[in-house]
Structure 1
Amino acid sequence: MAGKQADLVVLSDEDRRFLEAQVRRHKAPRSLSDRCRMVLLCAHGLQSKDVAERLGVHEHTVGKWRRRFVQDGIEGLTDEYRAGRPRTVSDAQVAQVIERTLNTTPKDATHWSIRSMAAQCGLSHTTIRRIWGAFGLQPHRSETFKLSTDPLFVDKVQDIVGLYMSPPNRAIVLCVDEKSQIQALDREQPVLAMAPGVAERRTHTYVRNGTTSLFAALDVATDAVIGKCYKRHRASEFLDFLKRIDSEMPKGPDVHLVMDNYATHKTPRIKTWLARRPHWHVHFTPTSASWINQVEWWFAELTRKQLQRGVHRSTAELEADITAFIAAHNENPKPYRWVKSADQILAAVKRFCQKTMMLTSVPGD
């Protein structure tokens, strides 16, 4: 009895060019190039069994793609759509997870974890992870914020940002502040040095060896820093620091001081001293807006590079390291670049306030 007649493969010039191009392409999917190879060999008159032996595949595989090409042409060589496994989590369950995440807390914690939410909802922890990832929910994270309530916030931002982005001609702009109560800390046991594959190790317990306060003035144009450490940070120490700044400033140019509203900056003695120097101009930052004072960035750099992992057995050692850090910084200062205009900052604050009001508003109020 004769077997079933194999489908005859006839190629147009366009089909042949496409199939040969896919076989030659280095980046073509392997499955597609193999199917194209089968069709080309079948078009030469070879039987499916012979093609299978030559390519090292099963005869039924060759027969399948031969039939698919004869029926649908080039498009028949692509994989058919597969519906996949039916959904096991309904929209109502997803909505329940989101609602609980946003509006409730577990009995024994301040926020949900993936596994506590999974136990509560009767779903797997991988399902909870996918739902939270899809909707951008991160209960484990918490950020802080502080909005200034200064009634002159807008005016002060425009004034100080204007100084940064377009300072007066031949004027010197200094950002002044103090970093108070810097602790001289020593570890209770010696620090173990870093080794290949082993991080530096230190005890979590420490010994306090006194404190010092650093007054610093950052030149916005050059990034050079004038700094001095004091045992205390009263108005008398601040006045002494202002005198030090005055002694290091060139004569002639106006000096603009950007500083916060700390009480020691506004005592009668300070006001009298500044009044005797009409070329000195004070610009107070808005309350609760230390981010606008550029010297705070330098304080963060000092903390990260020198203080955070430093070991100091006395305040003298601490002050010596701070002084050395200032000297090293001034050897190659790199000015910070202020890029946000006052309008951009105020617009960002407005957007934050509007978003916060939307998140905290209660329906029906």
Structure 2
Amino acid sequence: MFTSGRPKAVLHLTDSEHRMLVKLAEDRHAPRNVALRCRIVLTCAQGVTNREVARQIGVNETTVGKWRAQFVQKGIAGLYGPSPPNRGGRPKPELSLSEDERLRLEQIKKLGPPSAALLSEVLLASASGLTNREIARANGLAEHTVGRWRARFLAKRFLCFGLTSPRATHEHDEW
């Protein structure tokens, strides 16, 4: 039978790999992303195309190709941790601070009320190149909250970031 497109990575599972993948795919306490990756690999091992695996599982065909190749290269350990390089997603504009903004944020971080200090810490960390996820985990915030604060800062710059707390206003009001 003739197949078109790039050749896919050949995927063969040992009995122990198959058992481990099934266990992880069905484990309610396993991280969801790891369970999904295990289901992708298990379906790929049945010999079907990436397109068919994507259709069956409900993911993008590119995602199937990434995790097939990652498993072939690194085995089950490759299914843990971050996505392989060139992960998609919307690019985030760079957050760069002027020296005045950086000094003002440092001052608010040290002397301002706790909520303004937290906002300052988030913005400084974002300007240092950390991801929204890393900042959120370090500060006990939701990832989307970090992204929202960052976006508002980029949109309005320093005008809205005096000592006013974003938590002090109503959730849907602009601050």
What TM-score comes out, normalization by structure 1 length? 0.25
Bigger Rg, structure 1 or 2: 1
Greater strand fraction, Structure 1 or Structure 2: 1
Greater helix fraction, Structure 1 or Structure 2: 2
What TM-score comes out, normalization by structure 2 length? 0.49
